[in-house]
Structure 1
Amino acid sequence: MSQRFPDPASAFEFRSVGLKLLTFVPATLDPVKLESGLREQLGSGEHMLAGEQLAVDFDSLPELPSAVEVAALVQLLRQYQLKPIAARGGNPDQRAAAREAGLIVLNEDGVIPPVPAAKAAEARVPAMVITRPVRTGQQVYAKGGDLVVLALVSAGAEVIADGNIHVYAPLRGRALAGARGDTSARVYTTCMEAELVSVAGVYRSLDETLPVAIRAKAAQVYLDQDKLVIEALNG
């Protein structure tokens, strides 16, 4: 049975969490109520949350979502210039629906559960090779394998891979390697100018000034236990 809400804004709330992700907490999957609430709070044009990456939190959701409903929610959020990339909370069926809809599932600590190395290797597919620039607002995802980009990744663009990411050009957007929890994945670039980098769900925003030895130089990003390391490739 669907719930009634006194006003459109009560259909959901925004919560701030770590890892530079804003959490979207729907209390319903009714697209009419959600669209009305988004329009009420964000308007129909540019707004302060435009371009923000979101984790969808199922903990306040009374009904069990199907993959179709989750996909519809993802599309609705994108219409309002939001970028849902992950899901957290909920029960196993809800998390399965999120995966089927293309979202990364985070664990209770807000990071992607690691996938055993043997299983990750079994699932690998040939690398995806991109020869054209990845422009602002574009997203490229290499499912099950590595991503190789031979051209510029612009600011505001996203490159995502279940394996490693190789960018043989300036990396100015966001790079998320090991998207399904492969902690051995790495990000490589010949020119490190990224806005954000991630390996297996461990994020770091690079808005702050990078050291001279790394900025605009060849660099790699990898996990040392649970710490994200960024270092120059020249040693």
Structure 2
Amino acid sequence: MADASAARTRAVFEFKSATLPLIAVILKTSDLEVLAEALDAQLADSPDFFEQEPVVIDLSQLPEEDPADAGQLLDFTALRGLLARHQTQPVAVRGGSDAQNAAARAAGLSVTAMPVAPVPRPAPAPAEAPAPAPEAPQIVREVPVPANGTLVIDKPLRSGQQVYARGGDVIVTALVSYGAEVIADGNVHVYAPLRGKAIAGARGDTSARIFTTCMEAQLVAIAGIYRTAEVALPAEIAGKPARISLDGKKIVMEPIL
């Protein structure tokens, strides 16, 4: 009887490791009122963008806390509610201190050390500073794909949103707005207006390419070499289908005829 019971138990379930697409919300402030205002502003046009997707809360860019203020930790229960209000499901934190991790666990979150691949970011051009506004969290849709695989995104990417196809190519069939980022370790294809940033070869693949049916990009980069909109696009490229590649240390943009 015991052997039969054990056999049934083994057949009922099985534990296996799994690689799942996750969104990382990278916090840059611990002030939940400021965070709520910034999230409301950033996601106002797409309230159902995330559709109850799981979220990892990244604490690595929060200002360091004064040990004397150890009691002034993030209210993780309130933070979970705030993120859930925007159709996400917070499941874990990463990049926090021991005290933050303990507080997160007490609020029902797990602690993970999932890595984020480095993404090249050019220094911003000098400009007159606009009026200060709440600093929105960086919302990263980080999706691992099989080697030489392809990730397909069929929803518009709004300002402040970032999609990173780790380990393969990415195809976007909707608008990439100004201030949004689409990143891939392989090639980037945008079959719609590309107005934000497109970064191919994020881990150093110099053979990666960027393709778009409407070139209006704020920035394009391949393997860390980039070109910004500060340099005007040639007439045969601007607003038209284009292919972007790397020739040594130079970005090359060509029309697709």
TM-score, normalised relative to structure 2? 0.47
Partners in 1 of 2:215 and 2:63 — Cα distance? 33
Pair 1:198-2:221 in alignment = yes
* 1:142-195 per-position Cα deviation (integer Å, ceiling 9, x unaligned): 110000001110111000000000000000000000001111000000000000
**Is the CA contact 2:29–2:62 (under 8 Å) kept in the aligned structure 1?**
no
Which one of 200, 206, 217 corresponds to residue 177 of structure 1?
200
Query: Relative contact order, CA 8 A, sep 6+: which one is greater?
Result: 2
Partners in 2 of 1:158 and 1:231 — Cα distance? 21
Partners in 2 of 1:186 and 1:167 — Cα distance? 11
Once the two structures are TM-superposed, the CA of residue 208 in structure 1 deviates from its matched residue by 3.1
Once the two structures are TM-superposed, the CA of residue 207 in structure 1 deviates from its matched residue by 2.9
Q: Which amino acid aligns with 1:164?
A: N
Find the counterpart in structure 1 of residue 61 from structure 2. 74
Find the counterpart in structure 1 of residue 241 from structure 2. 218
SS at match of 1:148: strand
**Is the CA contact 2:173–2:192 (under 8 Å) kept in the aligned structure 1?**
yes
Once the two structures are TM-superposed, the CA of residue 76 in structure 1 deviates from its matched residue by 5.7
For residues 105 and 165 of structure 1, do their structure 2 counterparts lie closer, same or farther at Cα, with a shift above 3 Å needed? closer
Structure 1 stretches of 5 or more lacking a match?
1-33, 47-70, 78-98, 111-122
Trace 1:126-141 onto structure 2 (pairs within 5 A). Answer: 126-141=149-164
Partners in 1 of 2:192 and 2:62 — Cα distance? 31
SS at match of 2:244: strand
Find the counterpart in structure 2 of residue 101 from structure 1. 115
Over the matched positions of the two proteins, sequence identity in percent amounts to 53
Once the two structures are TM-superposed, the CA of residue 101 in structure 1 deviates from its matched residue by 3.1
Q: Which amino acid aligns with 2:152?
A: V
Q: Which amino acid aligns with 2:59?
A: A
Pair 1:187-2:210 in alignment = yes
Partners in 2 of 1:187 and 1:226 — Cα distance? 16
Partners in 2 of 1:75 and 1:166 — Cα distance? 33
For residues 186 and 74 of structure 1, do their structure 2 counterparts lie closer, same or farther at Cα, with a shift above 3 Å needed? farther
Once the two structures are TM-superposed, the CA of residue 228 in structure 1 deviates from its matched residue by 1.1
Structure 1 segments, 4+ long, off by >6 Å, are: none
Find the counterpart in structure 1 of residue 133 from structure 2. none
Trace 1:50-61 onto structure 2 (pairs within 5 A). Answer: none
SS at match of 2:59: helix
Once the two structures are TM-superposed, the CA of residue 72 in structure 1 deviates from its matched residue by 2.8
For residues 105 and 152 of structure 1, do their structure 2 counterparts lie closer, same or farther at Cα, with a shift above 3 Å needed? closer
* 1:196-230 per-position Cα deviation (integer Å, ceiling 9, x unaligned): 00001111112332111100010011111121111
Instruction: Tell which structure's C-alpha radius of gyration is larger.
Output: 2
Find the counterpart in structure 1 of residue 106 from structure 2. none
Find the counterpart in structure 2 of residue 207 from structure 1. 230
For residues 105 and 139 of structure 1, do their structure 2 counterparts lie closer, same or farther at Cα, with a shift above 3 Å needed? closer
SS at match of 2:175: coil
* 1:4-55 per-position Cα deviation (integer Å, ceiling 9, x unaligned): xxxxxxxxxxxxxxxxxxxxxxxxxxxxxx979xx9xxxx799xxxxxxxxx
Partners in 2 of 1:145 and 1:76 — Cα distance? 33
How many equivalent pairs are there?
A: 141
